[in-house]
Amino acid sequence: MSGLNPDQYAAVNTLSGPLLVLAGAGTGKTRVITFRIAKLIKSGVPGERILGMTFTNKAANEMKERLGKMLGISMGKSYPVKAKKNGKVPVDHTPTISTFHSLCVRILRRQIEPLGYPLKFAIYNRGDQEGLARNVLREINVSDKLLAPNQLLYWIGHWKCKSMTPAQAEVACETDAQHLAAIGYKRYQRQLKLMGAVDFDDLLLLTEKLFNEHESVRAAEAARFDHILVDEYQDTNTSQYRIVKALAEHRNLCVVGDDDQSIYGWRGAEVEHILSFHRDWPDAKVVRLEDNYRSTEAIIEVANTLIKFNKTRHDKVLRAARSGGEKPAILQFPNETVEAQETVHSIRKRLEQKGREPRDFAILFRTNEQPRIFETELRKAKLPYILVGGMSFFDRKEVKDLLAYLRLIGGSPDEVSVLRIINTPPRGIGKKSIETLLQHAIDNKVSLWDLVTGAEERPTLNAKTLRGIEDLASQIEETLYQTENDSLVDLSRNLIQNIRYRSEIDRIYSEPEDRESRWAVVEQIVNSLSEYEQSAAKPRLDDFLDKLLLGEQDANDEKEKQLKKNAIALMTMHSAKGLEFPEVYIVGLEEGILPHHRSLESDASIDEERRLCYVGVTRAEERLTLSMSLTRLKWGKPRDTKPSRFLYELTGKADHPNYQQPRGT
């Protein structure tokens, strides 16, 4: 356990009972979790009896990689280990390192049937959800003007994050729009179940429901593990909290997190879970990791000063391992244009004089609307940049199309997938014919896919439509017939050829560059299948789809690809969590932006905004610049702004005049 400081050592060597590790920014929490798992295994705990839970695939993979190097094993596969000379008990299997959603998928694939769902349930992505939401609103005769599909999904997600059923949501409604959404929520869930499908939030909700209603199932799943470790515990929502509690009956629970970095309340995270850990586990040991190895002393000093203004928090103070450093600059500019110009000018000068690379810089924002003017100035300066976010791989038409086809072949012929591909590529099946098929399926309580394949009697259709439907059915049948060796790669290649998907790309995109880039996306899907097939012990198409769709939820995968480029990073502070840069610019520090105007009426919301500012500050390793505009355009006219209260707090001023203009200061 060399290389651990005393606090890290204490966390690693506390091997039994409940343990709360308060890990401040840059204090080496991943290192501690990895060392602790290795310590458990070396102390004789079988690897398969250990469960580590994270929030992102990136975090899970990083943990697996580190653990594999420490133990000299290949994570994810069985590994024989000879008994050590010191008499330690050998281990036979690797620990389970998983995201919450991945763990819940595995549980539900084994146990979901008592809830009335098939074991081969489909998992709907955002595109699927939008399609279903549109159908639901159409069925209850609600127009887009009253409630748009994305608004319905917002409320459904909001309620699900709070672990609320449709009945509970209906009681909690305060507006007409919310009442309509609650009606839609009830219909949405019913349709999902009828189609044998779940969405991502359901993976957590249904696991929680399964544990609550079926004690034997809960006990069986809890009995799989003797030790549980949870990373980023401050980000758990109600369902995740209850699932952890249900599994940890052995009481060997280690949670790692930092209440000062709890910034996801808007998506259901409850900081109360880490603040009140002792309520559930009165005898829990608490270890504080306070040695920061990321930032200079000057940056850590202002970070500590800021976060102390939050009254409800665990008592801890970061200590900088790097002494000295440049004092963070607080700048005021006449307007947002000058703010952008001067920020870009500063970066350009430092690139010229300090030997920096573009990737060393990050410009952080509170809102997604702020980057536009900075992009303009970066283009003028001919400086490379990336806007972290952008279109996800899974938002591309080609990906959605092929995943829908693979679902049908994989035995999960849900309605949304069928509707997506029934006339893609075009087969002469018009909207009216599709509506006729859909209505016939509803009236006769049969699946849409059974009508397509002819397993159920079809309604009367014109000859062109019938030929198109039979063409689709034969393409799928031919694909399955051709693929005799169970190779998923061969199956995907045969499918793409049989549905003539290359012609579909050529039809849609006229420019050669567009065609090649779109075809490259198709190739990536095949490559993903190949990688999966080589790594999985028993490759299955449904398992591949589960893993791929769960990866869709992890924005970090796409973010990591972007950040590998040698370019200045533009991103929100929420996106910046978990990252670090030598030089950071936090812009737009004004009341109404940071803190956001939606938070101004609630002390709890202001506290979360302050934590968000704290996260932004602690991304900086060596140099930090904070700025605001004295005026900002509103509907085309310049309006005076108010400086963010956090600008005052960063300098320790409790009686900050945050509603006064700082002109002349």
Separation between Cα atoms, residue 108 and residue 110, nearest integer Å: 5
Q: Which of 449, 446, 450, 452 minimizes the C-alpha distance to 466? A: 452
One-letter amino acid for residue 610 of the chain: R
Other Cβ atoms within 10 Å of 185 Cβ, number: 25
For residue 21, report the phi and psi dihedrals to the nearest 5 degrees: -105, 110
Place of tokens 């970061």: 318
Q: Which of 399, 366, 408, 369 minimizes the C-alpha distance to 126? A: 399
List of E strands, 142-282:
197-199, 227-230, 253-257
Number of H helices, E strands in the chain: 29, 18
261 catalytically annotated: yes
**Catalytic residue selected from 232, 258, 415, 621:** 232
Using DSSP bridges, classify how beta strands 227-230 and 19-23 pair: parallel, antiparallel or unpaired.
unpaired
Separation between Cα atoms, residue 643 and residue 649, nearest integer Å: 11
Q: Which of 127, 126, 181, 138 minimizes the C-alpha distance to 419? A: 127
**Catalytic residue selected from 261, 332, 572, 618:** 261
Structure tokens at 81: 């280990």
Q: Which residues pair with 331 in a beta bridge?
A: 627
Residue 260 neighbours by CB under 8 Å, 6+ apart: 24, 25, 307, 310, 313, 316, 611, 614
Peptide bond connecting 595 to the previous residue in cis, omega within 30 degrees of 0: yes
Cβ(639)–Cβ(629) under 8 Å? no
**Catalytic residue selected from 619, 623, 632, 645:** 619
What's the farthest any 2 CA atoms get from each other in the chain?
80
Residue 432 neighbours by CB under 8 Å, 6+ apart: none
319 catalytically annotated: no
Separation between Cα atoms, residue 570 and residue 361, nearest integer Å: 9
H/E element, 275: helix 272-275
With vertex at residue 626, the alpha carbon angle to CA 620 and CA 629, rounded to the nearest 5 degrees, is: 150
Structure tokens at 540: 């299955």
**Catalytic residue selected from 14, 30, 165, 305:** 30
232 catalytically annotated: yes
**Catalytic residue selected from 199, 202, 231, 558:** 231
Handedness of CA 594, 597, 598, 601 (dihedral sign): positive
Handedness of CA 234, 235, 238, 239 (dihedral sign): negative
Structure tokens at 558: 């796409």
- Quick one: how far is CA 623 from the chain centroid? 29
- Quick one: how far is CA 429 from the chain centroid? 37
Helix (H/G/I), strand (E/B), else coil: 253? strand
DSSP 78: -
**Catalytic residue selected from 7, 8, 29, 607:** 29
For residue 51, report the phi and psi dihedrals to the nearest 5 degrees: -120, 125
**What is the signed CA dihedral for 27, 569, 626, 590, rounded to 10 degrees?**
-110
231 catalytically annotated: yes
Radius of gyration of the chain (CA): 27
List of E strands, 425-466:
none
296 catalytically annotated: no
Handedness of CA 602, 607, 610, 612 (dihedral sign): negative
Q: At what angle do helices 555-563 and 57-71 cross, to 10 degrees?
A: 70
Structure tokens at 157: 């997600």
Separation between Cα atoms, residue 609 and residue 262, nearest integer Å: 10
Residues recognised as catalytic = 29-30, 231-232, 261, 619
